Structure 1
Amino acid sequence: MKRTVFRLFCLIAFFMFIFVGYVSVIKLRSLGLVVQYHIEEFVRAGKPLFIQVQPKCKPVKKIVYMKTHRTGSTTLAAILDRFAYNNQLTLPIYQGVTDHVPFHRSMVANQGKLDMLTSHTLYNKSEMDIAFPGAVYITMAREPSSYFESVFTYFGMAKRIYEPDPKMAIDDFLHEPSRYLTYSRSPFNRVWNGQMQEFGLKKHEFNDDKRVQQKIKELDSEFDLVLITEYFDESMILLKDFLCWNFEDFVYMSINVRSERLILSKDSKRKIRSLSKADVAFYDHFNKTFWDKIHKKGKKFQKDLSEFKRIKEEYLALCLANETTIKLHRNNVSINMNKLQAGLSADEAQAFCGNLKKNDIEWSAIINGRMLKNGLVSYESLKKIEENSKKSKTAKQSAHNPVVRRLAIPKLTD
């Protein structure tokens, strides 16, 4: 009798174990556990490498991305544009948005309802709100000395100093910056608090600490998320959580990245930070808020970061060739070019890898073409935008001509 009861008890316990296990699996799936498929099957079917249960939150599809120069912005813009394409979203006609005057609603006139702004432009919150009502605001910040080196090299500042060695040119510039920044339209102004300039801080306000802090406070209240260039993958996890997108939406190939970077001395970095105090204050503030957000997420953030890196590495291993090609950009800057695996078929490359390789300009052309085809923008409007773009480029070129008004440049101590 006792043996029979014992067997019955074991049988009941066994079925309870199976039931609890089944419920646990369902629970894990509801929390977004990813299930991996074989890479070969994914490629042939043109399906995601990982299947994710859609999270309970609603994906954000209305975004203003304040794209600043030399902050990893092209890579992030391509990520956002790829999502826009996959979700039938709209972008402004690329040529219509300029980066030498503050954004204005006229830049996107006669283009219907627009979902995202991912083009270079100067910050103008009130006009952006009108053109993109209800949008969230995101941007990136870069450590000032790293930003300075990137801008100085990429935009060919050395040749303007007539110094073939970029590092020597930087030393020459930092020795006497007032010599090159005297005029309000000097091309060297990009390296002088260049990040804060794009957010609307005026040059005569650079040395006004109170005004700089006021501007940073304004930006803190107006932007939903400020990411950090030096921690790009960490930034993608924060953005993933904020936008309620999937890991696969943020897989990327780095775009427009130089193959070589100058190593600045400690003295050069000190001088750069002394020159661009507004950018330093801007970066320090948002670097702190960035890490505060990460720390609040606890251990889950590190788990998500590890998972994202694993997924990204598997995608890149599938798509990218081992060899790296170099392309000479303007000003003789060497840019790393992504090269796809030779064994991929046309269908495979088009299904995913080719899309992963596209930059933001290519995505804009594809999306704008779809808008034109669907009647969301007319050929007449497109022609007018192209004409205005040509006029804008002419005005931008003339803007580099020196004018008489001089600026107060801080003196740097050696």
Structure 2
Amino acid sequence: MRKSRALLKCRSNGTILAFLLFVSAVSVIIMLEFELAVNKNSWHKNVIVPFWAHHRREIDGNNDYVYYSNKTNGNISVPSPTQAKCAEIDYIVFLKTHKTASTTLASILERFGYIRNLLFAVSKSGHIFSLSNLFNRNMIPSLSSLNSKRLNTSSKQTGYHLLTNHVRYNRPEMDAVIHDAKYITIIREPVANFESAFGYFEIAKHLGLTSHKNPIETFMKTPKLFLDKHFYQWKRAKNGQLFDLGLEHESFDDFYIVKYKIRQLDSEFDLVLITEYFDESLILLKKLMCWSFEDILYVSNGIRSASHRYALNDELRAKIREWNSADVMLYTHFNETLWRKIKEYEGNFDKDLAEFRSQQQQAMNKCIDDERLNKNDRREVKYVLKPNMTKSIFCQNLLRDDVAYTDLIRNKMKQYGLYLSSSPKKSVPILPRARKPRSSYNHSRRRPRPQRPVRKT
């Protein structure tokens, strides 16, 4: 009897102990879940990353945890801690404005896409879709209807990756070509932009003003009369930046339409870079796209010749600003927007800017020959590579300009069956429409021509 009571007591104590252990385990799990929810970044940083890094060191022999990207054909990239939180952006529409350092920016974007084998929406020839027309999806081949074995089903559904060539802004048509893209553009202080366009496009020559001491001063005395002559690039001789961004000339003098357009652009563009603060703008671009410092390195694609520059006094500057008042409103708004974004920048902006400029200078010192310049174009001079760097892929990619990139990209797109000429090469997967060979035509089966009846006399 005593033995039975002792056995029951032991079992009861065991049950209580098991219950207490179960409650303790549940409590520990709840506490861990709470800790993970409250401080997820700390958990990831202090537990997950060290565990992964430990095993990575055993494999790679270094202290960095790395990511592999399919888009880079297996190349290894080592992101900074801030980059590890985001995904690299590669669906981009760049609205390329005129005389704003847009060619240099286009080269950065084109280099990024070219080395990653991304799909580009490029013009059928040259590097310009249109100087006056809004973008239309019919300007490029439709991927969904393309019968190419080299283009996978996913690409046909997700659309092109990048659009960087000159064309006027048209959001609905651009969305139809590049889906869920980041939209960026660049603008410049309106007086500097007007003077640059006037010189580069040789407007004085087209208006017969080359004999004047200062053709811009002559132009600004009666700008409306000159504009009515519709000379080459006349549409960019007044508020040319807003014209590129889709606003028509008849709306330039309507304050409320201009204001509405700027508000619309502010809601539709993810980033508007400023020429005068090019490096600062690129730091914001890097953050937006989750890119590396190397992705935003650049070489200025052209330095305007002294023969195509004009001196401007304060009075002339004031007239140009009044003539381009809509562009002044545009620039004022997005210049303020840029500095607000810099103020709200996550991380140490000044430190990142200094690091970028250091890498930029190292790249220039490595690749560019300071003692020589390419002066083949009378309107501008260009940098050249050092003799011992002409075979460097890095330096070639860095120096290559928008025109050269567009030609390379178009040739690469032809490998996918895009942008074919009327007589495609045999290596291209799309074949011309089949026609019945002449040799198969049976002349003996030709229907005899009916004979004219003979009139009886």
Aligned to 1:255: 301
Query: Which residue identity is paired with 1:177?
Result: P
2:196 paired with 1:141: no
Of 247, 250, 270 in structure 2, the residue corresponding to residue 201 of structure 1 is 247
Aligned to 2:85: 56
SS of 1:200's equivalent in the other structure is: coil
CA change 1:212–1:370 in 2 (3 A) is same
Give deviations 1:54-80, integer Å, cap 9, x for gaps. Answer: 532001100000001111110000000
Give deviations 1:219-277, integer Å, cap 9, x for gaps. Answer: 11111111101111111100000010000001000002314343311111100011111
Q: Equivalents in 2 of 1:288, 1:158: separation in Å?
A: 34
Of 117, 132, 157 in structure 2, the residue corresponding to residue 100 of structure 1 is 132
Of 198, 216, 219 in structure 2, the residue corresponding to residue 152 of structure 1 is 198
Give deviations 1:26-85, integer Å, cap 9, x for gaps. Answer: 88x99xxxx9xxxxxxxxxxxx9x954553200110000000111111000000000001
Q: Is the 8 A contact 1:110 1:381 kept in 2?
A: no
Q: Equivalents in 1 of 2:424, 2:187: separation in Å?
A: 33
SS of 1:55's equivalent in the other structure is: helix
Query: TM-score, normalising length from structure 2?
Result: 0.68
The aligned runs of 1:68-87 (5 Å cut-off) are 68-87=97-116
Q: Equivalents in 1 of 2:79, 2:305: separation in Å?
A: 35
Aligned to 2:388: 343
Q: Which moved more, 1:351-360 or 1:233-242?
A: 351-360
Give deviations 1:105-134, integer Å, cap 9, x for gaps. Answer: 001124553110000001111111111111
Query: Which residue identity is paired with 2:264?
Result: E
Q: Is the 8 A contact 2:122 2:164 kept in 1?
A: no
Give deviations 1:331-386, integer Å, cap 9, x for gaps. Answer: x42x121111112362xx2x210111111121122222222224455455989xxx
Following superposition, the deviation at residue 181 of structure 1 comes to 1.6
Aligned to 1:361: 403
Question: With CA pairs under 8 Å and 6+ residues apart, which has the higher RCO, 1 or 2?
Answer: 1
Q: Equivalents in 2 of 1:226, 1:104: separation in Å?
A: 22
The aligned runs of 1:10-409 (5 Å cut-off) are 52-53=79-80, 55-95=84-124, 97-111=129-143, 113-164=159-210, 168-183=214-229, 187-260=233-306, 261-297=309-345, 300-329=348-377, 332-333=378-379, 335-344=380-389, 346=391, 349=392, 351-376=393-418, 378-380=420-422
Higher helix fraction (1 or 2) = 1
Root-mean-square deviation (CA, aligned residues, Å) is 2.8
Following superposition, the deviation at residue 161 of structure 1 comes to 3.2
Q: Equivalents in 1 of 2:119, 2:367: separation in Å?
A: 27
Q: Is the 8 A contact 1:180 1:186 kept in 2?
A: no
CA change 1:167–1:249 in 2 (3 A) is farther
Query: TM-score, normalising length from structure 1?
Result: 0.75
Aligned to 1:13: none
Query: Which residue identity is paired with 1:105?
Result: R
Give deviations 1:172-201, integer Å, cap 9, x for gaps. Answer: 001111220225677433120111111121
Q: Equivalents in 1 of 2:318, 2:325: separation in Å?
A: 11
| Number of aligned residues | 337
SS of 2:121's equivalent in the other structure is: coil
Following superposition, the deviation at residue 160 of structure 1 comes to 2.5
Q: Is the 8 A contact 1:91 1:367 kept in 2?
A: yes
SS of 1:134's equivalent in the other structure is: coil
Q: Equivalents in 1 of 2:197, 2:113: separation in Å?
A: 29
Aligned to 1:407: none
SS of 1:297's equivalent in the other structure is: coil
Following superposition, the deviation at residue 205 of structure 1 comes to 1.2
CA change 1:264–1:210 in 2 (3 A) is same
Q: Equivalents in 2 of 1:275, 1:352: separation in Å?
A: 44
Q: Is the 8 A contact 1:141 1:283 kept in 2?
A: yes
Following superposition, the deviation at residue 165 of structure 1 comes to 5.9
Following superposition, the deviation at residue 322 of structure 1 comes to 1.8
Q: Is the 8 A contact 1:216 1:282 kept in 2?
A: yes
Q: Is the 8 A contact 2:135 2:170 kept in 1?
A: yes
Q: Is the 8 A contact 1:94 1:361 kept in 2?
A: no
Q: Equivalents in 1 of 2:363, 2:318: separation in Å?
A: 40
CA change 1:65–1:345 in 2 (3 A) is closer
Q: Equivalents in 1 of 2:357, 2:177: separation in Å?
A: 35
Query: Which residue identity is paired with 1:70?
Result: K
Q: Equivalent pairs: percent with the same residue?
A: 39
Q: Equivalents in 2 of 1:186, 1:378: separation in Å?
A: 30
Following superposition, the deviation at residue 299 of structure 1 comes to 6.6
User: Which has the larger Rg?
Assistant: 2
Q: Equivalents in 1 of 2:411, 2:354: separation in Å?
A: 37
Q: Equivalents in 2 of 1:213, 1:305: separation in Å?
A: 32
Gaps of 5+ in 2: 1-45, 54-61, 63-74, 144-155, 426-457
